[in-house]
Structure 1
Amino acid sequence: MSGRFEIVQEPMEGLKLLRRKRFGDERGYLSRLFDAEDMSDLGWRGGVFQINETVTKRAGTVRGMHYQHPPFAEAKLVTCLAGRVEDVVVDIRAGSPTFLKHFSVELSDDNALSLLIPEGFAHGFQTRVDDVRMIYAHSAPYRPEAEGGLHPLDPALAIAWPIAIEALSDRDRSHAPLEFDFPGVVL
């Protein structure tokens, strides 16, 4: 590895919280957002099929919890470029010892953290301030027919969103609560 990323924490198998190293001087800094060799060493499989940006205007907005079903399951590298979010992932891998457990962490432009999310996790976030910019690298192409989601307020997930929810899309609100027989995804 080039040393541009430091593993801060591995809270679940395959899930890695990374700190991007910043190289700078009085002018500012350079921070690599993605490096194919480093990501491969960290478990990223394949290439980058998409890089997406989200801009969220209002604090308290929740986006998620999204995933894609196999064979279009995807890994994501998630970074906050401006503002602060509470980033949340839920393990939905069938048979995983952390099945339906979640992990959350604050990502911000100040802390230089990124979350490397493997296939088999649902992902979402809540903006903690106004005017947030996020960037995602995806390991697989988006396929609408493979789209899945969990309700971000599902009591079975017990996600403690840090501030009052001010906005939630109709799409995210429409996900049904989990049932006791939710099988998860088989990768």
Structure 2
Amino acid sequence: MRGHSLHVTPTKIPGLVSISPVHHGDHRGYFCEVFKDGWFRENVADVTFVQDNESLSADVGTMRGLHFQLDPFAQGKLVRCIKGALFDVAVDIRHGSPTFGQWVGVELSAENGQQLWVPPGMAHGFMTLKPDTMIAYKVTAPYSAENDRGLRWNDPAIGISWPQSVDCILSDKDKKQPMLADMPAYFHCHAREAN
């Protein structure tokens, strides 16, 4: 297996990237590398992942998010879908960033194998597109209930174009998250980080 086994595609938000693995296959199936620590540190972000998480959403239209954690437990997340399909979204909530309040959405599925790297300072969420969808993600900090925060999934000032606009299944917690304009300035972006 020669050449690069993972490809990075930048998005309009600095630091937020899509990662695509190369599948090596034949009539039996395929093999692919989905994560390499050294490669990730060199090509995406020099971070240490401390935990792997997985969740199952039974119904189409299940919405989880938009979530983030405050320092010192701010999380970077490397997200992929291992069963089904989902629309994965990150919103830049770093005050001073040229892309503050902007969002990026990527369809992640078991078929396409794509991943999304969501650095700290972003609110993250997803909506399922198929039944029994499973998401798996690495995080750079453990869960902290004290530092757990959220942003309203349908804030009109952000204007995320979710694939489903009706019959969205939300937790009570996510129905009550604040709008971006009502949130304190939890994260700040310095000029060097914006490039």
Length-normalised TM-score, structure 1? 0.92
Partner of 1:75: 76
Structure 1 residue 180: deviation in Å? 5.8
Give ranges in structure 2 of 5+ residues lacking alignment. Answer: 190-195
Distance 1:41 1:133 in 2: 28
Give ranges in structure 1 of 5+ residues lacking alignment. Answer: none
User: What are the superposed Cα offsets for residues 59-116 of structure 1, whole Å, 9 maximum, x if unpaired?
Assistant: 0111100111112111111001111111110001121000010011111111121101
CA contact (8 A) 2:59 2:132 kept: yes
User: What are the superposed Cα offsets for residues 115-170 of structure 1, whole Å, 9 maximum, x if unpaired?
Assistant: 01111111000111111011000011211111111010221221121113431011
Residues 69 and 129 of structure 1: is their aligned pair in 2 closer, same or farther, counting only changes over 3 Å?
A: same
What secondary structure, in the 3-state scheme, does the structure 2 residue paired with 1:38 have?
helix
Q: How many residues align?
A: 186
Partner of 1:102: 103
Residues 165 and 156 of structure 1: is their aligned pair in 2 closer, same or farther, counting only changes over 3 Å?
A: farther
Distance 2:116 2:144 in 1: 22
Partner of 2:49: 48
Length-normalised TM-score, structure 2? 0.89
CA contact (8 A) 1:55 1:131 kept: yes
Residues 180 and 67 of structure 1: is their aligned pair in 2 closer, same or farther, counting only changes over 3 Å?
A: closer
What secondary structure, in the 3-state scheme, does the structure 2 residue paired with 1:172 have?
helix
Partner of 2:65: 64
* Percent identity between the two aligned chains: 37
Q: How does 1:158-169 map to 2 (within 5 A)?
A: 158-163=159-164, 164-169=166-171
- RMSD, aligned CA: 1.7
